[in-house]
Structure 1
Amino acid sequence: MKQIKPETNKTKKTLKLKTTLFAFIFLISFNIFSQNTYVFLGSYNRDKAAESIQVYQLDTNGNLTKVTSAKDMINPSYLTLSPNGKYLYACTDTRVPNGGSVSSFEFNPENKTLTFLNKQSSGGENPVYLSVHKNGKWLVNGNYNEGSVSVHPLLENGKIDSLAQHFQYSDGSVNKERQTKAHVHSTVFSPQNDYLFMPDLGADKIRCYRFDETQKQPLKETKVPFTKTDLEAGPRHFTFHPNQKFGYCIEEMSGSISVYKYDSGTLKQIQRINTHPDTITSGFESSDIHVSPDGKFLYASNRGKENNIAIFSINKKGLLKNIGYQSTLGNHPRVFALDESGKFLIATNVNSGNVVVFARNPKTGLLTKVGNEVKMENVTCVQIKNI
């Protein structure tokens, strides 16, 4: 009779490794197939009866299928989501004289509902951008007209609490038509969420605060309160590289991108490059900026004369090289977004009222239109979330 050899330590280790590997693959597969990708669209609806926020599901081919919508609000111009995707936050009453608010909604994908929760004053006229801290407990928004930033606590039920902190700025810059005073255009957390950066189009500055999430008033002064940009740059939106070493600011008025080396709340400019061909000398209206999840490519939108997405490669030093342009197939691409996998880029065209999905080539960074096009009057913003 053949004897069965006792299990050796090597065999045990091999079995354990195989089991762990199987479990890891199973978890990844379960995560992929259990999550759905949702697309959230905001607009300048100017009419409470209109569907001012719309939600779509994005399939693997780039097709959009409508899930739900919300009415009874004015101009939800910019949107963001809680880290778990359960709550949606919007800049509302934008471009409303003496108005300005931030609103919260609960999104339930199973019931296909988007339910209004509450709203609070944004602390200033014309809120244009808002961000949620990674802990889901803080909401920060920038107010363009008055040049201010506001901080609200977020409650466990998703509602926005009353204003906790507010800073108003008055300084402008050299352009007498557009920079007579501050115009905060975005509020962006650092990769570790311990600093807040605020490009100020009116002052040609990227303002900065330390963010202490444990305090009732989390914004704290820092040793470097702002980084000065080039004059008449008009800094607008800002994003970080996935490796957390570089920051990129798109400049609306100059049609440029400034590249910064980032370290613990400080920015050091290392490059400045146009978002447009050298043959175009005016009417840039550069607007939004994002880095692909793999960190290899950067995308920037141009409105004005171009209406396209400028595409850049990123080298190991964080520097940019233009490799092409992709028309957004519409007019005035104010905001675009990349999905979390980096497979798709979705652009919103305000003036033509259309939403276009592009597939992204991970090797070349180039874009190709896919899926179906969605029509939404005065669509201003898109956010994509796996839930």
Structure 2
Amino acid sequence: MKKILGLLLVILTSGQVYAQNTYVFFGSFNRDKTTEGLYVYRMDTLRGKLKKISSVKGILNPSFLTLSPDGKYLFACTESKTKNAGSVSSFKFNPEDGKLTFINSQKSGGENPVYLTVHQSGRWLVNGNYTEGSISVYPISENGRINPRAQRYQFSEGSINEDRQDRSHIHSTVFSPDFKDLFAPDLGADKIRSYHFKSDETEPLQVAEQPFVTTIAGTGPRHFTFHPNGKFAYCIEELGGAVDAYSYNDGKLEAIQRINTHTDEVKENFESSDIHISPDGRFLYASNRGDENNIAIFSIRENGTLEIVGYQPTFGKQLRVFDIDEMGNFLIVTNASTGNAFVFKRDIKTGLLKKVGRKVKIYGVSTVKIRRY
């Protein structure tokens, strides 16, 4: 009996430690540097509850967040949607007290930075600028400081939607699983641009032999992700409301499927936004806005194609970004228009979601990142 009680105590203690060391980072469209822009919460991974630990003022509109591979530094798109501005900023994170400390900022090369990614070496930061349609590359120092920009690629061509595609609009920058290539969906040009990434060079971003793949005109490719097995990639269309599935090999993409993210009842006014795959590679999640505010859930077949499983309402409007924790147990959504975030427990067998915990209220919440420490 004592052994059983002892074992239960170890399990409960381990669960408590896990909960105390899983942090959730939120950014917001705060519109004012005197108000909070970044938030740090601790997640109880037994019940999915979030507890606010700290916040940061003095920065404007942190619209997208990413972390260094070791989790020591948080990088943010800042001054997003700010005329004649736009920057990328670095913060040091202390997991002992859950606080962020500002390090520095650099100009993003555009007034609306919307996406950041860090190379596995931790030495390079790549930013996508939406409004101007450009990609910027920055060296990162060992202390997390962002150095002056090393490269900037500027694009101009648009596509057939005069209101939304008057020019190039880079919406994400994503490394391949081996970090030797970089892919950048261009919503304005209906292209997924591709580059080789030579991390030992002073100008690492180099145009690939296949410089881009073209999506269907007017569909507006937005966010992009790779399957954990490295054989498949998926791009969500903001304007087309669909997911494009690709086979992937040696830096090249080949289309294998296009499937709607929205229900058959919705014929117009739909926008898709973010896309993620569960760590076990079995399910893909894609978010919808407009008349639908939900997450489409797909199972992933062995050949990389998708099959719809169901839809989960997000209990808010204008879901921009969501994230899945590294264990695959929880998914967190951010509803910008309604200023709320929710935690969902993920059924690892069916892929379905169930809302847990309480609603988190954050004005203009724009993005979320989950990390276990």
Q: Contact 1:43–1:75 (CA<8 Å) still a contact in 2?
A: yes
2-side partners of 1:114 and 1:264: how far apart? 38
Indicate whether 1:78 and 2:54 are aligned: no
In structure 1, the partner of 2:9 is: none
- In structure 2, runs of 5+ residues without a counterpart are 1-13
- Could you give the per-residue CA deviations for residues 163-184 of structure 1, whole angstroms, max 9, x where no partner exists? 0000000111111111111000
Moved over 4 A (4+): 32-35
The TM-score normalised by the length of structure 2 is: 0.94
Structure 1, gaps ≥5 residues long: 1-28
For the residue of structure 2 that corresponds to 1:224, the secondary structure is strand
- Structure 1 distance, partners of 2:322, 2:269, is 19
> Is residue 259 of structure 2 the alignment partner of residue 267 of structure 1?
no
Contact 1:76 1:91 in 2 (8 A): yes
1:278 maps to 264
1:215 paired to 2:201 = yes
Question: 1:320-342: per-residue Cα shift (whole Å, max 9, x none)?
Answer: 01111000011111100000000
Q: Cα 1:34–1:304, aligned 2, differ >3 Å: closer, same or farther? A: closer
TM-score (norm 1): 0.91
- Counterpart code for 1:40: F
Determine the C-alpha separation between the residues in 1 that align with 2:218 and 2:325.
32
Matched, 1:316 2:312: no
| Partner deviation per Cα, 1:352-371 (whole Å, 9 max, x = no partner) | 10010000000100000011
1:328 is aligned to 2:314: yes
Distance of aligned partners of 1:34 and 1:287 in 2 relative to their CA distance in 1, 3 Å threshold:
closer
- The equivalent position to 1:57 in structure 2, one of 42, 46, 53, is 42
What does the per-residue CA deviation read over 1:60-106, in whole Å, with 9 as the maximum and x for residues that have no partner? 21010111111101100100000111100000010001111000001
Tell me the SS of whatever aligns to 2:210: coil
2: CA distance between counterparts of 1:137 and 1:196?
15
In structure 1, the partner of 2:289 is 303
**Matching of residue 249 in structure 1 with residue 235 in structure 2:** yes
Aligned equivalent of 1:15: none
C-alpha separation in 2, matches of 1:256 and 1:339: 24
Is 1:123 aligned to residue 105 of structure 2? Answer: no
CA drift of 1:112 comes to 2.9
Distance 1:329 1:98 in 2: 35
Q: Residue 341 of structure 2 is aligned with which of 350, 355, 358?
A: 355
Paired position in structure 1 for 2:88 = 102
Q: Which residue of 1 aligns with 2:177?
A: 191
Query: Following the alignment from structure 2 to structure 1, what is the Cα–Cα distance between the partners of residues 19 and 363?
Result: 32
Deviation at 1:218, TM superposition (A): 0.3
| 2:19 maps to 1:44 | no
**Structure label with greater radius of gyration:** 1
CA displacement at 1:33 relative to structure 2: 4.7
**CA distance, structure 1, for counterparts of residue 115 and residue 236 of structure 2:** 15
Q: Does 2:140 match 1:154?
A: yes
Paired with 1:351 and 1:34, the residues of 2 have a C-alpha distance of 29
Q: Name 1:385's counterpart in structure 2.
A: 371
Distance 2:236 2:117 in 1: 18
- Per the TM alignment, residue 125 of structure 1 is displaced from its structure 2 partner at its CA by 1.8
User: How far apart in 2 are the matches of 1:237 and 1:250?
Assistant: 6
- 1:240 counterpart = 2:238: no
How far off is 1:35 after superposition?
A: 7.6
Say which SS state the counterpart of residue 221 (structure 1) adopts: strand
Show the counterpart of 1:181. Answer: 167
CA contact (8 A) 2:40 2:98 kept: no
Verify the 8 A CA contact 1:44 1:75 in the aligned structure 2: yes
The structure-2 alpha-carbon separation of the partners of 1:146 and 1:113, relative to structure 1 and needing over 3 Å to count, comes to: same
Please provide the CA RMSD for this pair. 1.4
CA distance in 2, matches of 1:35, 1:82: 20
The CA distance in 1 between the partners of 2:347 and 2:172, in whole Å, is 29
Distance 1:99 1:229 in 2: 30
For residues 342 and 69 of structure 1, the distance between their equivalents in structure 2, rounded to whole angstroms, comes to: 26
Is 1:376–2:353 an aligned residue pair? no
Identity %: 59
Deviation digits for residues 152-210 of structure 1 (CA, Å, limit 9, x no counterpart) = 00001111000000000011111111111100000000001110000000000000000
Distance 2:196 2:175 in 1: 10
Once the 2 structures are TM-superposed, how far is the Cα of residue 111 of structure 1 from its aligned partner?
Answer: 3.0
Q: What's the counterpart of residue 231 of structure 1? A: 217
Judge conservation of contact 1:35–1:386 (CA < 8 Å) in 2.
no
Amino acid at match of 1:39: V
Corresponding pairs, count: 359
Q: Which amino acid aligns with 1:316?
A: E
**Match of 1:46, SS?**
coil
